[in-house]
Copies of this chain bind each other. A is one copy, B any other.
Amino acid sequence: MQRIKLTDVARAAGVHPGTASRALNPLTREQVSQATSRRVARAAQRLGYIPNTLARGLRTARSFIIGMVVPDVANPLFPPMVRGAEQVLSKAGYTLVLTDTDNDASTERRQIEQLRARGTDGFIVATARWRDPLLDEIAEAGVPAVLVNRNTSTGRLPYVGGDERTGIKQAVDHLVGLGHRHIAHLGGPQDTSTGRERAAAFRQATHQHGLPSTRGLIRACTSYTEAAGAAAAGRLVASGQEFTAVIAGNDLIAFGVLSVLGQAAISCPDQVSLIGFNDMPHLDKLAPPLTTVRLPLAEMGAQAARILLDKIEQSASDSPVTQSLLGVELVVRGSTAAPVPRFSNNSHALNAR
């Protein structure tokens, strides 16, 4: 049994394949009389005709495929974005192809090349580095693409992300409100926009509150992983620096901090408060439940998809490159509490009043 093709439908309806094509396409249907149009539609229906997207794509130079590139599907940050994008795209008739680069630049390049060979109509990229030659090439080549979650330094591509700056500010405000004055930031890698942005926002917020110098209290982790977070936390604790709270670059880094604190017999939140970022699922079940900044991940994915579709449909490059920041929300849970003054920083606390 063969797949039904347009020729079969045309023969069944007693018309030329070209006519059948026009009858089936809503945009060209007006060029065909209603009677034949109906006849063709019925024949297609009856035979169970499914158009061959490959052949169509070859002729129209459109594949209705959107590629989405993420560093690691297993990172719970990404699935909600993928779902958000997928819903918008599939509603518009596009198919989302998800590829996982495993955080590897050469894999990423290979994947994107593969997808381009498939005539992919556009890309949603969640793997951007701060300096990213591959993305520069894509921008140069005029391939429709939207960045999500992470931005690049050049700002030549549209970007959809969370309002990191406000998120960090809320976190700092919250801690300061509880009475903390010695807050550390174990941020993400500085070759990602999120790592840079959050660190910068942290500096700004602590400065606004007139907190003591943050020198030595700001550290960058080598990656957004529990292991890297633990390593950085270990170094922080070993440094002997005084701190009563930590704002982690994301939730995974916070996990690393948590385990180091546990090993060092430092209680959270009694001795050190901890705030994560992203609001991964199930953080409320942790011991202690993690205070964190929630990003509208699904909405970010959906918005990125919408912007991309716009870009594709009106391929005119007249539209400016938009950078959208979506609102975030501090979710306060059990990992943050008022600091207990230790004798070593008692005087500081008194001075502050």
Contact = CB atoms under 8 A, between A and B. Distances in A.
A98 B51 CA distance: 21
Interface stretch (A27-35, A114-122, A188-196, A233-241): A114-122
A99 B74 contact: no
A96 interface: yes
Interface string A309-324: 0000000000000000
A83 B100 contact: yes
Nearest to A297: B74
A214 interface: no
Interface stretch (A152-160, A166-174, A281-289): A281-289
Interface in A94-142: 95-100, 102, 110-111, 113-119
A44 to B, nearest CB: 13
A228 to B, nearest CB: 16
Given A79-B74, A83-B73, A100-B86, A113 B287 contact: no
B100 A82 contact: yes
A317 to B, nearest CB: 15
A58 interface: yes
Contacts of A50: 113, 116-117
The 7 closest A-B pairs by CB, nearest first: A287-B287, A74-B79, A73-B79, A98-B98, A53-B117, A53-B118, A54-B58
B119 A52 contact: yes
B96 A99 contact: yes
A99 B86 contact: yes
Given A58-B58, A74-B79, A117 B51 contact: yes
A27 B146 CA distance: 38
A73 to B, nearest CB: 4
28 contacts: A50-B117, A52-B117, A53-B114, A53-B117, A54-B118, A54-B119, A55-B58, A73-B82, A73-B83, A74-B79, A74-B80, A74-B83, A76-B76, A76-B281, A83-B100, A83-B102, A86-B99, A86-B100, A90-B111, A90-B114, A95-B97, A95-B99, A95-B114, A95-B118, A96-B98, A258-B285, A282-B282, A286-B286
